[in-house]
Amino acid sequence: MTISNPDTVLIIDFGSQVTQLIARRVREAGVYCEIAPFQSAEEAFKRLTPKAVILSGSPASTVDIGSPRAPQVIFDSGLPVLGICYGEQTMCAQLGGKVEGSDHREFGRAFLEIENDCPLFEGVWAKGTRHQVWMSHGDRVTAIPPGFRVVGTSTGAPFAAIADEERKYYGVQFHPEVVHTPDGAKLLSNFVHKIAGLSGDWTMAAYREQAIEAIRKQVGDGKVICALSGGVDSSVAALLTHEAVGDQLTCILVDHGLMRKNEASEVVAMFREHYNLPLILVDAADRFIGALEGESDPEKKRKTIGRLFIEVFEEEAKKLGGADFLVQGTLYPDVIESVSFTGGPSVTIKSHHNVGGLPERMNMSLVEPLRELFKDEVRVLGKELGLPGSFIGRHPFPGPGLAIRCPGGVTREKLEILRSADAIYLDEIRKAGLYDAIWQAFAVLLPVQTVGVMGDGRTYEFVCALRAVTSVDGMTADFYHYDMEFLGRAATRIINEVKGINRVVYDVTSKPPGTIEWE
């Protein structure tokens, strides 16, 4: 699906962990952008006809044979180009400069000396001043290509910022996209507005219109089903599609037996109350749990769930007389964590069921109108569409559901124990008025039994781990700092009320190094 936009910035991804933040900053500056992996950058360039290009960082080294490059068409196009870190390095390597490995590596906080005024710094940094930036590199540029001049230096990088104002090419060794470069967002804004001359009038309202247009174009008069979980992503995807193609759309909610307590019926009730959309509830619990029993490898569990989801969607489509398209609420973080770019080891962390977990062959084409967005952006779009607050504010819930919160094998009995503990935990969170302060909270049932004493008798039961995180976009997260009173209260209730759990622990791992879910 392509969102056509007159003022688009193309971000070429070489596998940096923070590429998505470049996209955020550009959109925050009111300019639409899309990220394309370097392997398909040329195709994306032709498809999007962008007005400016940004080259991301990378774990690769330009010094290595076979390391990725920006397609030549970018430099032939005459468009403004900003290279960030590896992006600067490859730009220099490609245009006649030189990059070398260095023993003065810079990771984290560094200081940039402004050697010359330049449009990138306009209104932000003046010549002769010094500013904090964030670096993460080992290689460095040792000679700049003809036409460039140096505009900023740091201890480890003599060419920490370079500019060829004639051709509108800029390169920075530091990362303007991260918050640890406090003025970084302003530099990116200068690039898209002052240098590339883009208007900055892009908003979520515009996105809504463009997405609806793009769905209409993709779907034509085909029949569409939407995988609806009741989460904010799929709800927004369903509403957009409904606005686009009306009654060509049927929504399907799969109760895979891995939902939270009463969730399936609540979602159906909530949707029927607010919307006049055909919604089918499929009971597939036996099928999912049957296939998962005895499987304890997290990736295999995820792939099994992905496969079954599609099988169910295909069967339901058949019952409806066939469907050509499947709408999913896939977001950018689902994509980035599931995809591994060869050449730039942006590695597979986990296969999100709706991306890496999908079977190779599927009868329907995917419609994923939110594939470029982050959760907080989807919430803004949801508001734009008039989605009730009760949907917008819901904590995310992963498609594979409780299965990935039961590390090891899944059984009906374990799921039941976990479901009860999770419901109590969330109830306590709501009662304490903490639901909206927390980004996501849930219980995990560990495959470990411990000894306890209850009512003077010995118990030997499971351990329940509680998780709660704060986050903006799910890409990074910190554990939520509860007061101990709260944790004690929740733990006591869980142990007293749920048979099968005799111990509760709290997970204090941030992301990274952990992930939010346990599998």
Ligand X SMILES: Nc1ncnc2c1ncn2[C@@H]1O[C@H](COP(=O)(O)OP(=O)(O)OP(=O)(O)O)[C@@H](O)[C@H]1O
Ligand Y SMILES: O=c1[nH]c(=O)c2[nH+]cn([C@@H]3O[C@H](COP(=O)(O)O)[C@@H](O)[C@H]3O)c2[nH]1
Ligand Z SMILES: NC(=O)CC[C@H](N)C(=O)O
CA distance 392 to 376: 10
* CB nearer ligand Y, residue 80 or residue 399: 399
Does 110 sit near ligand X (CB under 6 A)?
Answer: no
Query: Where in 256-310 does DSSP place strands (E)?
Result: 279-283
Query: Where in 401-490 does DSSP place strands (E)?
Result: 440-454, 457-470, 478-479
* Candidate segments 132-140, 220-228, 418-426, 456-464, binder of ligand Z by CB under 6 A: 132-140
Alpha-carbon dihedral angle through residues 448, 451, 454, 456, given to the nearest 10 degrees: 160
Catalytic member of 33, 34, 85, 263 = 85
CA distance 497 to 454: 12
* 57 touches, from ligand X, ligand Z, Mg ion, none (C-beta below 5 to 8 Å by class): ligand Z
State the nearest-atom distance from the C-beta of 517 to ligand Y, in Å.
3
Place of tokens 């967005």: 373
85 belongs to the catalytic site: yes
Catalytic member of 137, 175, 242, 256 = 175
CA distance 274 to 285: 26
State the nearest-atom distance from the C-beta of 176 to ligand X, in Å.
29
Contacts of 281 (CB under 8 A, 6+ apart): 253, 255, 264, 268
CA distance 502 to 508: 20
How many whole angstroms from its chain centre is CA 97? 35
* 86 touches, from ligand Y, Mg ion, ligand Z, none (C-beta below 5 to 8 Å by class): ligand Z
Does 511 sit near ligand Y (CB under 6 A)?
Answer: yes
CA distance 177 to 425: 37
Place of tokens 């101990």: 484
Does 136 sit near ligand Z (CB under 6 A)?
Answer: yes
* Candidate segments 3-11, 56-64, 108-116, 176-184, binder of ligand Z by CB under 6 A: 56-64
* CB nearer ligand Z, residue 188 or residue 277: 188
State the nearest-atom distance from the C-beta of 85 to ligand Z, in Å.
3
Task: Write the interaction track for ligand Z spanning residues 3-42; mark x where CB under 6 A is met and - where it is not.
Answer: -------------x--------------------------
- Tell which one of 29, 95, 162, 254 touches ligand X (CB under 6 A): 254
Does 58 sit near ligand Z (CB under 6 A)?
Answer: yes
CA distance 468 to 475: 15
User: What separation in angstroms does the CA of 4 have from each of 9, 47, 210, 212?
Assistant: 12, 9, 7, 11
Place of tokens 């734009």: 384
CA distance 99 to 145: 11
Does 59 sit near ligand Z (CB under 6 A)?
Answer: yes
State the nearest-atom distance from the C-beta of 305 to ligand Y, in Å.
8
* 337 touches, from ligand X, ligand Z, ligand Y, none (C-beta below 5 to 8 Å by class): ligand Y
242 belongs to the catalytic site: no
- Tell which one of 30, 119, 138, 158 touches ligand Z (CB under 6 A): 138
Residue 394, both tokens: 């819901």
Are the C-beta atoms of residues 461 and 452 closer than 8 Å to each other?
Answer: yes
CA distance 400 to 7: 37
* Candidate segments 180-188, 345-353, 406-414, 497-505, binder of ligand Y by CB under 6 A: 345-353
Residue 132, both tokens: 């904090």
- Tell which one of 229, 241, 250, 338 touches ligand X (CB under 6 A): 229
Does 517 sit near ligand Y (CB under 6 A)?
Answer: yes
State the nearest-atom distance from the C-beta of 94 to ligand Z, in Å.
15
Does 398 sit near ligand Y (CB under 6 A)?
Answer: yes
CA distance 262 to 488: 26
Does 229 sit near Mg ion (CB under 5 A)?
Answer: yes
- Tell which one of 231, 257, 344, 357 touches Mg ion (CB under 5 A): 231
The residues assigned a catalytic role are 85, 175, 177
Interface with Mg ion (CB under 5 A): 229, 231, 397
Interface with ligand Z (CB under 6 A): 16, 57-61, 85-86, 136-139
